Amino acid sequence: MLSTEGKEFTQETKMKALERDNYHCQCCGVRLMRDGRLGTGKPYHIHHRKPKSLGGGNLLVNAASVCTACHDSLHTVQNKGYTYPQACYIIKIAKQKKWSVEETIRKRRK
């Protein structure tokens, strides 16, 4: 079993998440960079689906491969109280409609 202590995922967990997610962003579907090689896809982060501050751990089940743009937006949306699946949905809609995340949230509440 992989450790759930510490702030970050282990390198092993990060690689398993990327492989499981087939090197694609789990929010927008864009291809992610392989082995840090430029030209192979977008830079990425391994995101905690359930934030550490809410009891989320560093296990593979809590890891999501996401592009940098979605990662930044995920933090913005999740900090407003939305769950990971809700946040991904909001980000997908924002990208499709070419709206900001804030605008998407406002329109979703109407």
pLDDT number for residue 108: 83
Rounded CA-CA distance 42/53 in Å is 27
- Mean pLDDT, each 10-residue run in order, the chain (110 residues): 64 95 95 75 93 93 96 95 96 95 89
- Per-residue DSSP letters for 63-90? EEEEEHHHHHHHHHHHTTT--HHHHHHH
Rounded CA-CA distance 47/108 in Å is 24
Q: Which two tokens stand for residue 20?
A: 């499981």
pLDDT number for residue 39: 62
pLDDT number for residue 50: 95
How many H helices and E strands in the chain? 4, 2
